[in-house]
């Protein structure tokens, strides 16, 4: 069966349509594999090669990749959830109730969205601390660290704006506690709060604003900064590798002592 | 050092050549190229497949979790009925814990503002770029300053009754003290490790420790009126 599948795939790759879409051509040489990355709008953000020791689990724990993974899960489940949800009071609450009791797999969808959201916040924090403890934020990667901090804030805001949408007691009071803090900002505090909520308290206007933030503005900014974040990995010389870390047996990385001799 | 080689590349070639950065040092008699080979793998397919597998495992875990645990849903929002305690999402509970001790301007604006600013400026601090151990140079002076800062922080937290943040600070201060009296050659691997930690490591570890403790306390140990409760006795 796999052989047959491979033949079909090989035949597909030779068709004119396939060739018109994927310009890298067929074959599996190093060049073709490199072109598969470089000639692709989305994949060209990444470099065509990665240091072998950075691919191992112990080097990164794949925390950044996993954070991106949760983001994809959240976009997927989120779009489907949007089909069943009206951002209005009290319809929002009954929609979430319907997801639980009426819509087929609705309960599962909402669970997956909720747990993935928590996982994304956790993984983003874990990724940040891991990068810090490896020292991977140092020059020339300073700016990518800053982009990462922005992405962490976007993640927190995404999670926080989503918190209001079920319009239950938990949501209402968590947002009330949070937005009350913003009114503590000197001079413009109340104005910021009014801008966030579209009123003086958490009400239907606030729900609509949080919905727009949660489903349009924040995901779009996340995508934008994610693109910069990945592109900068390539531009900054690939994943950070410590000089002191052992290279592979054949070609050991330069020992630290030799570095000192040179300077 | 291996002598530089001529590069050849042809279309369809299977050659594995790594790009090299050539650095010319001006006002010197010679230029130096630090050339060392590092084994690399192709992003497509090797790395992408590994990434896909990692995400797949995560997805599996989240699916299983979603099958067995339901997302919370309480009664419809009611502005006239305040639950006690009204808690923010878990990642903000550290800040809410601070809100319990300090006025909203401090806990809600200054502390998070400072946190974000300090996170952003981390890579732009050029001090101690070699990440040398904190006490390996100017030991007495550095020990004096780190202890003055720690004690000042502990006294400050004690004045405001913030014992939840005081305990982690005191623990980190104790380890600082241990590090000051350890050397990298110490037979104990732990003490040798501590002695080699730079100042940035100490600050970040203190922050991480606080974050974990405050979030855990806010999540599990706070009940009505933000009073101390034990989660296993509810």
A77 inside domain: yes
**How many CA atoms lie within 13 Å of B104's alpha carbon, on the beta-carbon side?**
11
Whether A256 is in a domain gets the answer no
Residue A61 contacts B, CB cutoff 8 Å: no
Is the residue at A41 inside a domain?
no
Backbone angles phi, psi at A21, to 5 degrees: -85, -50
Residue A94 structural domain:
63-238
Q: Rounded to whole angstroms, how far apart are CA atoms A77 and A67?
A: 15
By C-alpha distance, the chain A residue nearest B20 is A237
Strand partners, B222: B228
| Nearest chain A residue to B47, by CA | A55
**φ/ψ (deg, to 5) at A43:** -80, -20
Q: What is the pLDDT of residues A170-213, one digit of tens each?
A: 999 999 988 888 888 888 888 999 999 999 889 999 999 999 99
Cβ separation of B54 and A69 shorter than 8 Å? yes
Work out how many domains chain A is built from and give that number.
Answer: 1
**Window B:80-109, CB contacts with A under 8 Å:** 81-83, 86-92, 95-96, 99, 103-105, 107-109
- For chains A and B, CB pairs below 8 A equal 218
From chain A, the residues in CB contact with B51 under 8 A are 62, 65
Q: What residues in B contact A152, CB-CB < 8 Å?
A: 119
Q: d(Cα B206, Cα B202) in Å, to the nearest integer?
A: 6
pTM of the shown model: 0.87
What are the domain boundaries of chain B? Answer: 90-233
Tens-digit pLDDT profile for residues A198-253: 998 899 999 999 999 999 999 999 999 999 999 999 999 888 887 655 554 444 44
A70, part of any domain: yes
**Neighbour-count burial for A197-236, b at 16+ CB within 10 Å, e otherwise:** beeeebebebbebbbebbbeebbebbeebbeebbbbbbeb
- Tell me whether 0.90 is exceeded by the ipTM: no
Which of B 116-175 lie inside 8 A of A, CB atoms? 116, 119-120, 122-124, 129, 131
Question: What CATH code is carried by the domain that includes residue A211?
Answer: 1.20.810.10
CA distance A34 to chain B (A): 7
Distances (CA, A) of A53 to B12, B14, B25, B47: 26, 21, 30, 11
Give the 3-state secondary structure of residue A254: coil
> How far apart, in whole angstroms, are the C-alpha atoms of residue B62 and residue A9?
32
Q: How far apart are the first and last CA of chain A?
A: 60
Within-domain flag for A180: yes
Do the chains contact at B119 and A149, CB–CB below 8 Å? yes
B-chain residue closest to A98, CA distance: B73
Determine contact, residues A181/B104, Cβ cutoff 8 Å. Answer: yes
- Does some domain include residue A234? yes
Is residue A246 one of the residues assigned to a domain?
no
The verdict on residue A120 lying in a domain is yes
Q: Which residue of B has its CA nearest to A27?
A: B12
Distance between CA atoms of residues A176 and B82, nearest Å: 10
pLDDT one digit per residue (tens) for chain B, 234 residues: 555 555 555 555 566 666 666 766 666 555 555 666 788 899 988 999 999 999 999 999 999 999 999 999 999 999 999 888 888 899 999 999 999 999 988 988 899 999 999 999 988 886 666 678 888 888 899 999 999 999 999 999 999 999 999 999 999 999 999 999 998 998 999 999 999 999 889 999 999 999 999 999 999 999 998 999 998 876
CB-side neighbour CA atoms (13 Å) of A249: 0
- Note the pLDDT of residue A226: 97
């Amino acid at each position: 069966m796999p052989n047959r599948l491979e033949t079909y795939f090989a035949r597909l790759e030779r068709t004119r349509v396939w060739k018109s879409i994927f310009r890298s051509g067929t074959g599996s040489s190093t060049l073709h594999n490199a072109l598969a990355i470089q000639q692709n709008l989305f994949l060209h953000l990444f470099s065509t090669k990665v240091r072998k020791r950075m691919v191992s689990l112990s080097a990164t724990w794949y925390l950044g990749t996993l954070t991106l993974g949760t983001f994809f899960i959240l976009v997927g489940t989120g779009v489907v959830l949007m089909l069943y949800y009206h951002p209005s009071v009290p319809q929002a609450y009954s929609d979430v109730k319907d997801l639980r009791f009426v819509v087929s797999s609705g309960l599962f969808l909402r669970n997956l969205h909720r747990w993935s959201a928590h996982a994304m916040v956790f993984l983003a924090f874990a990724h940040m601390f891991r990068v810090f403890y490896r020292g991977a934020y140092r020059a020339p990667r300073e700016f990518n660290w800053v982009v990462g901090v922005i992405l962490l804030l976007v993640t927190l805001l995404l999670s926080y704006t989503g918190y209001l949408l079920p319009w239950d007691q938990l949501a209402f009071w968590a947002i009330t506690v949070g937005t009350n803090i913003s009114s503590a900002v000197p001079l413009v505090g109340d104005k910021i709060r009014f801008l966030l909520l579209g009123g003086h308290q958490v009400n239907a206007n606030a729900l609509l604003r949080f919905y727009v933030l949660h489903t349009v503005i924040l995901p779009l900014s996340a995508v934008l900064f994610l693109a910069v974040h990945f592109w900068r990995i390539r531009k900054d010389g690939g994943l950070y590798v410590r000089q002191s870390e052992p290279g592979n047996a054949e070609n050991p990385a330069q020992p630290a002592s030799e570095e000192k001799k040179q300077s | 050092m291996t002598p530089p080689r001529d590069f050849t590349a042809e279309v369809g070639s299977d050659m594995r050549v790594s790009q090299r950065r050539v650095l010319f040092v001006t006002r010197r008699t010679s230029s130096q190229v630090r050339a060392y080979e590092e084994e690399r793998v192709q992003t497509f397919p090797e790395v992408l497949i590994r990434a896909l597998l990692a995400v797949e495992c995560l997805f599996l875990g989240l699916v299983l979790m979603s099958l067995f645990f339901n997302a919370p849903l309480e009664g419809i929002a009611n502005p006239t009925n305040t639950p006690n305690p009204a808690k923010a999402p878990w990642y903000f509970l550290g800040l809410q814990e601070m809100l319990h001790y300090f006025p909203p301007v401090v806990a809600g604006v200054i502390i998070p503002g400072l946190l974000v600013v300090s996170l952003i400026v981390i890579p732009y601090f050029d001090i101690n770029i070699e990440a040398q151990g904190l006490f390996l140079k100017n030991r007495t002076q550095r020990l004096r300053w780190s202890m003055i800062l720690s004690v000042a922080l502990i006294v400050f937290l004690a004045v405001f009754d913030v014992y939840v943040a005081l305990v982690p600070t005191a623990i980190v201060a104790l380890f600082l003290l241990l590090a000051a009296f350890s050397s990298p050659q110490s037979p104990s691997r732990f003490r040798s490790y501590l002695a080699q930690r730079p100042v940035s490591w100490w600050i970040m570890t203190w922050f991480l420790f606080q974050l974990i403790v405050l979030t855990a306390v806010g999540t599990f140990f706070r009940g009505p009126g933000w009073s101390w409760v034990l989660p296993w006795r509810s």
